[in-house]
Amino acid sequence: MKTHRLTLALAAALGLSITACSKTEAPQAPATDQAAAPAAAPAAAPAEASANPFFAVSALPYQMPEFDKIKDEHYAPALERGMSEQRAEVDAIAGSSEAATFENTIVALEKTGALLTRTAAVFGNLAGANTNPVMQAVQADMAPKFSAHQDAILLDGKLFARIKQLYDGRDQLGLDAESLRLLERYHTDFVRAGANLSDADKETLKAMNSELATLATTFSQNVLKEVNASGVTVTDVAELDGLPAEAITAAAEAAKAAGNEGQYLLALQNTSGQPPLTNLTNRDLRKKIMEASLTRGGRGGEFDNRDIVARVAKLRAERAAMLGYETHAAYVLEDETAKTVGAVNKLLSDLAPAAVANARREAADMQAIIDAEGGGFQLEAADWAFYAEKVRKQKYDFDESQLRPYFELDNVLVNGVFFAANQLYGLEFKERKDLPTYRSDVRVWEVFESDGKPLGLFIGDFYARSNKRGGAWMNAYVAQNGLTGTSPVVANHQNIPKPSDGQPTLMTFDEVTTMFHEFGHALHGLFSNVKYPMFSGTSVPRDFVEYPSQVNEMWATDPTILANYAKHHETGEPIPQALLDKVMATEQFGQGHATTEYLAAAMLDQSWHQLKADQVPADTLAFEAQALKQAGLDYAPVPPRYRSTYFSHIMVGYSAGYYAYLWSEVLDAESVEWFKENGGLKRENGDHFRQTLLSRGGSVDAMQLFRDFRGRDPEVGPLLLRRGLDNPIGGSK
Ligand SMILES: [Zn+2]
């Protein structure tokens, strides 16, 4: 259901209109750049049209949103009217007396909801990038209305009857490949949403969805409350030895806010690992924090999530069975690149032994330090971050501040990111200071092909601020599509601290890599060359969407690109090779731990969602332990990144989908290999990637796109190499 344009338009309006990024923590919906604005806008009364900029198609180049005219009070009326207009358009299609044709049904559906998609594309993004209390209130108010709007369309029996009739006779319609895929996609989306069910089953389904929504809300509220309830308080500041001064200050303030002035409250974060564990020298305190973290949601009390986890697993299994699937995972994965439970299980189990072996090697390095210090104990989960930091300092010591003078923002963007796109694809960039934005430090570039043909607009919103959500992401304000003839308007967002006036913006290496990453999503949107809005740009499966962006990261460290951008902002000196080598060396450090904790969480996700309803266990934690053991991921010093009772990604966000980051990375690592095999930074290589993959959006099966590009199916070897997992299992140390 998630690749459905309608669904995504709704997700956009709910503030999920982003391309998920592996660098961020929060679960996110995939891209929503299907938000194409058809040329023929529904007529609006002239007075209203002038009052509300959403009511008419923007007159700016590329239909770029009129940010200077959009005000908070415009969102709710435009979203409300957008929904009622779409409902009327859909009703007209469903109730038509004419026999169903591809044009009057499927193509017509693709054209519905212009106002809604146009508004949702802006609202969904700015509710994350530049929010305020008014927008937050609109978000909360709209959530149930969107849900009902979506159900009304996807479970509309008359509409589905027309789609099904076309689908059943699809071989006789003489459709081109993309049109045929569109028809199949509509049919699939409706079927997956329950359109084929009897009226009684539809009611059951709605009730299940409703209960699941309530459980998800309770689960996430419990997670939040339990995080707050599990913070560790200490009375003596001496116990905080090792913690940086600002962290001690924060702990004192947190304790004061909790009514314990004079004490110190170490708040928890969502993951199993906790930041203070890196610095605290007091081992008892470390153990106390780790224990508090790992027992969240499963230790009894009012915020216990154990029964909710089991209930959700059961409901999802029952719903999947009703829709004709073996398990919930089978239901979810059918719509992803992975396609089957077997394919995901194979990826996870192929990597597990090597990852754990690597983690054990990392542990051996740490145990050596513990022993040399006369510690007299075995490394535990609570000790990992503390001793990992010691190893890191020993092996790779360098200071991030040495790097930053070589990574000035404008230099990285223009002479790095844009330069790479020029070398690979021939793109040219011209800044458009004449076009309005929603903040003065947000910038716009017009992008041109090598022959001077205009391609689209690129918007850069790079700076952190208090009303912007964390992480980095891409969105499309206008998506390319041939049906209505729109060109792309895409944007990248980061959270780079803004320097004081007149000072240069000096970035960390991580921020540099992220800038290349996000621009990979931007290219996916800019190069889109499809007919139907449904398939535009990054409208691809979740386990595929991070792949092109991860590939673009490779150019951040390409010698030619680096030489062009990594120059001292004052002297123009190139970055010293020795410094660069240290940066590259640290990339592999800690991969054993990172991969193991990720795999353990991904395996838990699959274990819960590969159950049939009658297999759902009564004891949540016992099941979890058994699942990890069976997968060979029960290595106590490295607990899962999230345990079931606080794993919001899979309970609220994308169930059976946590594996997706790694799946994308397999394709990414393979593609990086392809570029290297074929001479790296060359126009013909870029053009091949663009033609076979980046321009195709979701118009062709994603795995086929990969094959078209690579010439064969993906293999896991390059990923193992990258993550340092290629050593023989059970190797030295
Ligand atoms: Zn990303």
**How much is the average pLDDT of 649-656?**
82
User: Which of 3-17, 146-160, 407-421 shows the lowest per-residue confidence on average (mean pLDDT)?
Assistant: 3-17
Q: Ligand 1 center to residue 518 CA distance, Å? A: 6
Q: Ligand 1 center to residue 713 CA distance, Å? A: 23
Query: pLDDT of 337-387, one tens digit each?
Result: 999 999 999 999 989 999 999 999 999 999 999 999 999 999 999 999 999
Query: pLDDT of 454-478, one tens digit each?
Result: 999 999 999 988 888 877 899 999 9
Q: Ligand 1 center to residue 666 CA distance, Å? A: 15
Query: pLDDT of 38-55, one tens digit each?
Result: 333 334 444 454 589 999
Tell whether the model's pLDDT for residue 731 goes beyond 50: no
User: Which residues on adjacent β-strands are paired with residue 429?
Assistant: 447
Query: pLDDT of 167-220, one tens digit each?
Result: 999 999 999 999 999 999 999 999 999 999 999 998 898 888 888 878 887 888
Distance separating alpha carbons of residues 559 and 563, to the nearest angstrom: 6
Distance of CA 12 to the CA centre of its chain: 13
User: With bands split at pLDDT 50, 70 and 90, how would you rate the model's confidence at 730?
Assistant: very low
Distance separating alpha carbons of residues 490 and 103, to the nearest angstrom: 29
Tell whether the model's pLDDT for residue 683 goes beyond 60: yes
Report yes or no on whether pTM surpasses 0.75.
yes
User: Which residues on adjacent β-strands are paired with residue 445?
Assistant: 431, 458
Report angle CA 665, 35, 468 to the nearest 5 degrees: 70
Judge whether 38 and 53 are in contact, CB under 8 Å: no
pLDDT confidence of residue 396: 80
Helix or strand (DSSP H, E) at 194: none
CB atoms within 10 A of CB 657: 28
pLDDT confidence of residue 28: 35
Q: Ligand 1 center to residue 514 CA distance, Å? A: 8
Phi first, then psi, for residue 524 (nearest 5°) are -60, -40
Virtual CA dihedral for 112, 115, 117, 120, nearest 10 degrees? -150
Distance separating alpha carbons of residues 29 and 654, to the nearest angstrom: 8
Judge whether 111 and 92 are in contact, CB under 8 Å: no
Q: Ligand 1 center to residue 637 CA distance, Å? A: 30
Q: Ligand 1 center to residue 370 CA distance, Å? A: 38
Phi first, then psi, for residue 635 (nearest 5°) are -100, 105
Sign of CA dihedral 296, 298, 299, 300: positive
- What three-state secondary structure class fits 135? helix
pLDDT confidence of residue 394: 84
Q: Ligand 1 center to residue 540 CA distance, Å? A: 13
**How much is the average pLDDT of 504-521?**
95
User: With bands split at pLDDT 50, 70 and 90, how would you rate the model's confidence at 512?
Assistant: very high
Distance separating alpha carbons of residues 557 and 537, to the nearest angstrom: 26
Choose among 656, 631, 658: nearest CA to 642: 658
Choose among 429, 529, 536, 426: nearest CA to 479: 536
pLDDT confidence of residue 148: 78
Tell whether the model's pLDDT for residue 29 goes beyond 90: no
pLDDT confidence of residue 535: 96
Q: Give the count of alpha carbons within 13 A of 716, CB side only.
A: 17
Tell whether the model's pLDDT for residue 423 goes beyond 60: yes
Q: 658 vs 523, 594, 602, 713, CA distance in Å?
A: 25, 14, 5, 22
Q: Point out the catalytic residue in the list 239, 518, 546, 670.
A: 518
- What tokens appear for 718 in the block? 């390059």
Query: pLDDT of 599-615, one tens digit each?
Result: 999 999 999 999 999 99
**How much is the average pLDDT of 136-142?**
84
Q: Give the chain's mean pLDDT.
A: 89
Distance separating alpha carbons of residues 253 and 260, to the nearest angstrom: 9
Q: 381 vs 98, 232, 273, 352, 391, CA distance in Å?
A: 67, 17, 9, 18, 16
Tell whether the model's pLDDT for residue 36 goes beyond 70: no
Q: 524 vs 80, 378, 530, 543, 689, CA distance in Å?
A: 31, 48, 12, 15, 10
- What tokens appear for 646 in the block? 């606080």
Q: Ligand 1 center to residue 486 CA distance, Å? A: 24
Judge whether 696 and 530 are in contact, CB under 8 Å: yes
Tell whether the model's pLDDT for residue 161 goes beyond 60: yes
Distance separating alpha carbons of residues 8 and 476, to the nearest angstrom: 12
Q: Of 12 and 701, which is predicted with more confidence?
A: 701
Whether 518 is catalytic: yes
User: With bands split at pLDDT 50, 70 and 90, how would you rate the model's confidence at 578?
Assistant: confident
